[in-house]
Chain A
Amino acid sequence: MVNLVIDGKKIQAKEGITLLEAARENGIDIPTLCSHESLEPSGACRLCSVEVTKGNRSKIVTSCIYTVEEGIKVNTESERVKKVRKLIMELLLARNPDSDVIIELAEKLGVKPQKRFLPDHDKGKCILCRLCIKTCETIVGVSAIGFSSRGATKIVGTPFDEESDVCIGCGACAYVCPTGHIQMETTGDTRTIWGRTFKMTACNVCGRYFAPEDQLKYISQKTGVPLKELSTCTSCR
C-alpha cells in the first residue's frame, strides 16, 4: 500500500493504480473525457490534470496516467489546475459548440464560453479523445478507423474517408464515443456507420434484427463458434 494525500485527505492506495482511480475510490471527483476503464489511458484531453507536490516541488500531471507514489500531495482543485481545466473547456466549447456533453460539463465546472474564440462549425461533436479508435483497435481488433492529418485539422475516420472493408459494423465506437459524434443508423435489416451500409442478421428464434452479418462472421472466425450458433440474439440465447 502507498500513502498519499489527496485534497488534504490521507489516503492508502494499492500500488500501481492511477491517481484518478485512487481519488475516485475515495469519493473525490476529477473530471475526465478521454479515459475509459477498459482502455489504456492516452492522456489526450488533459482535463483530469491535477497538481502533485513532492517535497517542495510541484507539477501538473494527468491523473489518469500518473500512478500513486508514497508521500505525495495531490491537489485536484488548485489555481493552476483550475486554469488548465478552464482553458480546456473554453477550447472545447469553441471547437464543439453543438455538443450537449461539453456544454453540460462546462456548466458543471463553471466555465463559460471565451468570447475571443470564434466557434467552429466543421468539427461536429468530435473532441478527438481517441476512445473510438482504441476500442476498434484493441477491443474489437479490426482497426477500421484512425486519425488523419495533424494539429487542429486532425479528424477521425476510415482511411481516405472511403468505405472500410475491415469494419464489421459492430458500433462499439459509437457506443464508446463520449459526445455522440459517431453517426450510426439501424433501420430494419440495415445498419449504416462510417459511410458503409451493413446487412443485419435476424435472430433465428425471435426474428429481431440484432447484429450485422459481418460482425457475426468475424466473431465466428475469431472464436471458432459456428455461425449458426451465433445467429441467436442474446435475449433468446
Chain B
Amino acid sequence: MSKIVKMEDLNKAKKRGLDALMPRKTKIMVGMATSGIASGAGEVYRALDSEIKKRKADIILKKTGSMGMDCIEPLVDVITPNMPRMAYGRVTAKQVPAIIDQILNGSIDKEKPTYYMGEEDFIVTGEKIKYYKGKKPASLKGINAIGDVPFYKKQVKLATRNCGLIDPENIDEYIAKGGYFSLYKALTTMTPDEIIEDVVKSGLRGRGGGGFPAGTKWRSCRDAEGDIKYVICNGDEGDPGAYMDRSLMEGDPHSVIEGMIIGAYAIGAHEGYIYVRNEYPLAVANLTKAIEQARACGLLGKNILKSGFDFDIRISQGAGAFVCGESTALMASLEGKAGEPRAKYVHTVEHGLWNRPSNLNNVETWANVPLIIARGGNWFSAIGDKASTGTKVFSLVGKVNNIGLVEVPMGIPLRDIIYDIGGGIPDGKEFKAIQTGGPSGGCIPAKLVELPVTFDDLKKAGSMMGSGGMIVMDEKTCMVDIARYFIEFLESESCGKCVPCREGVHRMKQILEDICEGRGQEGDIELLEDMAGAIIDGSLCALGGSAPNPVLSTIKYFREEYEAHIRDKKCPAAVCKALIEYRIDPDKCTGCGLCPRVCPTGAAKGKIKKIHTIDQKKCIKCGACVESCKYDAIIVE
C-alpha cells in the first residue's frame, strides 16, 4: 500500500478504487455482513466461487456489507460494464448456475433480479455515477429500479452510504466514494475551531442514545484542561436485536475511522479507542483490517498527511454487558476495571478515561462526520428536522413485513417507516404499538402513528430515540407482558451498584409477573407509577434512569389492559397463559378430529363428527389446537 501524503496520492487511490468499484469486466458482490451470512450468504458465495472457477469465467467475485433489507438476503449484485446493476434477492446456491448462465449470455430471462440500480449515489462528493449510458434496456421491463422499491424509496443513506456498495476490506474503494478527502480537507485547510464550528452548524446530535449535540461535546473536550485527551467510539451496541452499529463497522469501517481522526484533530487528541462488544467478531476483523490499511497509507500514525498531527486507534473488546455501553462504565471497562457506572457530576469530557478529557461518540455519530466536513454543516442541517438534523438508522423488527436496517431522514412520520418502508403488518393484523429506544425505551400506540421521528417528539411521547431499535407490535401483543419482558431484561442487566435500580427494577418485575399471572392487586398500577418516579430520580446512571419507561409508557397508553389483568383477571390480547382459556366454539366445530390428534396432553377430545371439547384441567395452553383447526373453532380468551 503506497503512502498518501498529497492530493495527488488520494486521487491515484481514488482511480484505483473506481476501477475496483466499476471494473471493465463483470463483478459479482455478495452481501456478507452478519445479516447476510445468517441467511446463507456464505454458501451462495462458495457456490459462485466454484461455478466461476469451473467455467473459467472472467468474473470478479467480491464481498460487501449489507444494504439493510435483511428480508431479501442473501443479496447478490451483478455489475456488468455498461449495464444497470442487477440485485438478486433471496439467492440460494441452487440458483447460482442459472445466474452465471445469464451473466455469460447477457440475458436476465431465467432468474429475475429483485431490482436494478441505474446509477450510484456518491453522497460525499455529491456526484451520481451512471452504470450505463443511453436508454434503459428493454429486458428490464417489470423490474423495479431501486428508487421504486418501497423499502428503499423513503430512505436517505448518509451514515450507511457505502454499506453494501463497497468492499469494506479495500481502502481504495472507500476513497473512490469520497473517503479520506474530508480528512485531507480538515487537516490541510481547516483549523480545529473551524471544524468544530461546522459540526455545531450541522446540528449533529449523538446517535447512541442521549442525542447530545456532538459539536458542543467536542468543544467542551477541546476546552478541557489537559495535555493528553482521548476520543472513543462506542460500538458496544447492547440493545438486543439492534445492529445498526454492527452493520456500519462491518460494511464501512473507514467511515468511522475517518470520523474519529477528524474529531481527534479538532479536539486535540492523539489516541483513540473503539470499544466493540465481543459478540461482533466480523466487525472487529473488518475494523482491524481497516486500521492496518489506514496506518499503511499513513492516514493513521505520525504526521498524518504531513500536517504534523499524530493519531492512532486501538480496538478494545468488551464483555458485552448492556451497561458497558454507558459512557462512564465503558471508560471503566477500557481501564480494565469492572464495567460499572460512576456518578457523572464531573463530565467525562473533563475527567474521563484515566481521568483525562475524553470525547465519546457512538459509531453512527462518527460515521456522519466525514460527510459533514465534505458537504458542510449547512448542507447537513438542511436534511431532516430542525432540532434533529440528518438521518437516523433504525433496525426495524417485529410484526412488520420488511425487516431490516433502514436509514431515514429525521422527522419522518412513524407511519412511513411502518407502512411504506416496512410494508405494514403481516397476515392482515392490526398495528398496535411500536417500541423505540431499546429495552428502556417506550411503547408508542397506534393512535400516534403520525408522530414525527425526532429526539424531542419521541421523548414527549414517553419513549426515546435510543440507539435505534424499533419493534413493531400487532394486535396479538399484550402490553403488560411486553413491559414485563423489557423489565426482566433490565433487571438482569442492572449492574447492581445502586439501590433504586437494582432493587427497584427487581420489585417492578415481581409485580408485573404477578399481574401477568393473575395475582395482580388493586393499587398495583399506582404503586408502579410511584416507584417509577423514584427510580428515575434516584438511580445513579441512565440505565436506572430510563428503566421504568416501558412500564410508564404502557400504563400511559394501555392502562385498561393493566386493569383487565388486575380486576377481571383477563388478558385482552390472549397472551398471558394464566389468564386465558382455550374453548371450542360449538357453532364452528365440525368434529374433524384434528385437534385431539395434535393436543399433547389429551385435553382436546371428541368423537368424529361430534363437537369436540377441551378439558380445562388438562390444557397446558400450548396453542397447538389453534394452529391445527381449519375452521377457526378454537376460542382463546
Contacts and interface: CB of A to CB of B under 8 A. Distances in A.
B338 A45 contact: no
A151 B537 CA distance: 18
B538 A49 contact: yes
A151 B493 contact: yes
B577 interface: no
Contact of A84 (B338, B497, B502, B534): B534
B507 A84 contact: no
A142 interface: no
Interface in A116-150: 116-118, 127-128, 130, 147, 149-150
Interface stretch (A24-32, A88-96, A208-216, A218-226): A88-96
A11 interface: no
B527 interface: yes
B497 A44 contact: yes
Interface in B592-628: none
A84 B540 contact: no
Given A62-B343, A83-B534, A87-B534, A147 B524 contact: no
Interface string B473-508: 000000000000000000111111111101111110
Interface in A38-66: 42-47, 49, 60-62, 65-66
B534 A65 contact: no
A77 to B, nearest CB: 14
A31 to B, nearest CB: 13
Contacts of A114: 527
Contact of B524 (A42, A44, A65, A116): A116
Interface centre among A60, A66, A84 (most CB of B within 10 A): A84
Interface residues of B, number: 36
A14 interface: no
Interface string B358-374: 00000000000000000
Given A43-B343, A88-B499, A92-B499, A83 B533 contact: yes
A46 B500 contact: yes
A88 B503 CA distance: 8
B523 to A, nearest CB: 8
A105 to B, nearest CB: 13
Contacts of B492: 150-151
Nearest to B514: A116
Contacts of B8: none
Question: Which of B492, B500, B533, B538 has its CB near the most chain A CB atoms (within 10 A)?
Answer: B538
Contacts of B500: 46, 84, 87-88, 91
Contact of A128 (B502, B524, B531, B535): B502
A195 B48 CA distance: 63
Nearest to B500: A46
Q: Is the interface of B mostly helix, strand, loop or mixed?
A: helix
A128 B497 CA distance: 8
B227 interface: no
A117 B507 contact: yes
Contacts of A42: 342, 497
B623 to A, nearest CB: 31
A80 B530 CA distance: 11
Contact of A66 (B345, B505, B527, B539): B345
A191 interface: no
A192 interface: no
Interface in B264-292: none
Interface string B520-551: 01011001001101110111100000000000
A118 B491 CA distance: 17
B433 interface: no
Interface of A: 42-47, 49, 60-62, 65-67, 80, 83-84, 86-88, 91-92, 94-95, 114, 116-118, 127-128, 130, 147, 149-154
Given A46-B540, A84-B500, 17 more contacts: A42-B497, A43-B540, A47-B499, A60-B537, A80-B537, A83-B530, A84-B534, A88-B534, A88-B538, A91-B503, A94-B507, A116-B511, A117-B507, A118-B510, A127-B499, A152-B502, A152-B506
